Amino acid sequence: MSNAANTVTTSHQVECPECGASVRFARAPLAGEVTRCTGCRAELEVTSLSPLRVELAPEVQEDWGE
């Protein structure tokens, strides 16, 4: 007898703030993690874990040693 029916799977997905596409994580995301939207290719940063929330990742500016 299998206990597969009793297995709970947690879905780690959120809506892209740029295009509205569903952004899925294969595992529980970490705060500050950066991922890419498969719909619009925007870089998204995880800003909250509960509830799961992402925002557009800030642009990384080059440091030319100035």
- At position 7, the amino acid (one-letter code) is T
pTM (2 d.p.): 0.73
Averaged over 19-48, what is the pLDDT?
Answer: 96
Strand 43-49 and strand 34-36: pairing? Answer: antiparallel
Please tell me the distance from the alpha carbon of residue 23 to that of residue 66, in angstroms, as a whole number: 37
Question: What are the residue ranges spanned by the domains of the chain?
Answer: 12-56
**Between these two residues, 60 and 14, which has the higher pLDDT value?**
14
State residue 63's pLDDT score: 67
CATH of domain 12-56: 2.20.28.160
